[in-house]
Amino acid sequence: MGFCFRSIASSGIVAVFLFCSLCFTSTDAFDPLDPNGNITIKWDVISWTPDGYVAVVTMYNFQQYRHIQAPGWTLGWTWAKKEVIWSMMGSQTTEQGDCSRFKSNIPHCCKKDPTVVDLLPGTPYNQQIANCCKGGVINSWVQDPANFASSFQVSVGAAGTTNKTVRLPRNFTLKAPGPGYTCGPAKIVKPTKFVSSDGRRITQAMMTWNVTCTYSQFLAQKTPTCCVSLSSFYNDTIVPCQTCTCGCQNNKTQPGSCVDPNSPYLASVVSGAGKNSYTPLVQCTSHMCPVRVHWHVKVNYKEYWRVKVTITNFNYRMNYTQWNLVIQHPNFDNLTQSFSFNYKPLTPYGTINDTAMLWGVKFYNDLLSQAGPLGNVQSEFLFRKDASTFTFEKGWAFPRRIYFNGDNCVMPPPDAYPYLPNASPRQNISILSLLLALFVSLTFSCLYI
């Protein structure tokens, strides 16, 4: 909704706004660029025990670009009866709870609503299972298909001991690490089949259930977290992020809501920030966003044109590891070269090839460091011109939509885009850009629901 609301409603086209808000409210968690994106949590009961079962729980990140970074996921649920967790491998609950009714064998956790976290890398091998112990970090499907799952094993007591008596856990909550995910009920599915490593024997789970969780940016945070600024070689104007995109500097009601980079206290604030944290502490800017993406139309060649993209981190509390960017621009179907970001086309609607997923090159720029002199990464893109569509007019050379780590980056209003000297007057440009924005938002937000 952020996209439609900001760029279109602010320009006064009420009908479009209404249409968009209708189509968004009906499907809150719907992401037009990743329509099937979800995290599936699968429980495979691998054996029944005298009083319950042993299950391997695996979380699969079936999202194209949204990943879970440090400090990692937290998974919670509510037991249906009086179940306890005798033991776990590859993860632990954050609290043991009240186990006073047990005399000799003390369970790992007696809480009705356990909260589970992954173990850290370096955990002794005898406490590990496959796909565990990564500190709760899960990569996205496109970015790192080898690391898109996370597993742990749980031994449950005081539970049913057959597929008729067992009761499924309820009310799953997934934090990654903040809010944003909504999980459906557990559903019994066909038991998983496991193929042995030599491929010569297949075993199967006693029972399997799946839980599907989907993400909504509007549940995750009330304000945007990222904004876009624009510039071009043909116009000196740099169109900045809109003032107050992600918040306003307000010394009266929220003193200390941001940090002035020239402040003598900077060093103590920054070192106090310590490890990655969900709540940002941003450098004072007019937009107050933790992240800004700048798109610069750099060079015009005869058959090609070149763009420079810079991502700047204004957040003192976050080193963005394995960051990613999704950019929608009609010329991505003729991208000739991406100089220092990895590129993969995203084509959720088959033939429309206008969306790129971009991420850092390992050990070179895959880390976007916390705010400060190192807090930026950049790359250039070379596009081949398609004579039938290419133009520098009407804002065509600027992106239609940008996501950073899966969250929408707020664009400047279309009528502020830099325009060509001697181009048609502003009135015409803004109407055309609006029509374009309208077309884009209708095509990608509404038609495909």
Ligand X SMILES: *[C@@H]1O[C@H](CO)[C@@H](O)[C@H](O)[C@H]1NC(C)=O
By CB under 6 A, name the binding residues for ligand X.
36, 38, 40, 42, 60, 62, 78, 163, 170-171, 188-189, 207, 210, 212, 235, 237, 239, 249, 251, 273, 275-276, 317-319, 333-335, 345, 347, 353, 369-370, 384, 386, 416-419, 421, 424-425, 427-428
Q: How far is the CB of 419 from ligand X (least distance, A)?
A: 5
Of 10 and 237, CB closest to ligand X:
237
CB of 104 to ligand X, least distance (A): 30
Distance in angstroms (rounded) separating the CA atoms of residues 429 and 394? 5
CB of 363 to ligand X, least distance (A): 14
With DSSP H G I counted as helix, E B as strand and the rest as coil, what are the percentages for the chain, rounded to 5?
15, 35, 50
Least distance from C-beta 18 to ligand X, angstroms?
Answer: 26
> Measured from the CB atom, is 102 or 185 closer to ligand X?
185
In the complex, minimum distance from the CB of residue 117 to ligand X, in angstroms, rounded to a whole number: 18
3-state secondary structure of 27: coil
> What sign does the dihedral 130-76-81-167 (CA atoms) show?
negative
- Which residues are CB-neighbours of 373 under 8 A, at least 6 positions away? none
The token duo for 179 is: 């809010």
* Closest CB to ligand X among residues 23, 207: 207
Rounded to a whole number of angstroms, the distance between the first and last alpha carbons of the chain is 14
CA-to-CA distance for 395 and 23, rounded, in angstroms?
26
Rounded Cα distance between 193 and 201, Å, is 10
Q: Which is nearer to ligand X, 94 or 165 (CB)?
A: 165
Q: In this complex, which beta carbon is closest to ligand X, that of residue 19 or of residue 394?
A: 394
CB-nearer residue toward ligand X: 19 or 211: 211
* Least distance to ligand X, CB of residue 281, Å: 9
- CB closer to ligand X out of 19 and 44: 44
Cβ at position 221, least distance to ligand X in Å: 18
Nearer to ligand X, 196 or 351 (CB): 351
Residue with smaller CB distance to ligand X, 124 or 274: 274
* Min dist. Cβ of residue 170 to ligand X (A): 5
Whether the CA torsion 139, 142, 4, 312 is positive or negative: it is: positive
Calpha distance 25→15 (Å, rounded): 15
350, β-bridge pairs: none
CB of 143 to ligand X, least distance (A): 15
Nearer to ligand X, 87 or 144 (CB): 144
Using an 8 Å Cβ cutoff, are 223 and 246 in contact? yes
Q: Where do the H-state alpha helices sit in 146-245?
A: 217-220
Query: How many residues comprise the chain?
Result: 449
C-alpha–C-alpha distance, residues 412 and 122, integer Å: 45
Q: Which of 382, 215, 405 is nearest to 293 (CA)?
A: 405
Burial of 269 per CB tally in 10 Å (0-12, 13-18, 19+): middle
Nearer to ligand X, 3 or 398 (CB): 398
Chain centroid offset of residue 245 CA: 19
- Bond from prior residue into 177 cis (ω within 30 degrees of 0): yes
**Please, what is the minimum distance in Å from the beta carbon of residue 250 to ligand X?**
6
Q: How far is the CB of 200 from ligand X (least distance, A)?
A: 22
- Taking alpha carbons only, the member of 278, 321, 317, 314 closest to residue 293 is 314
Task: Report the amino acid identity of residue 188.
Answer: I
Distance CA 307, CA 146 (A): 31
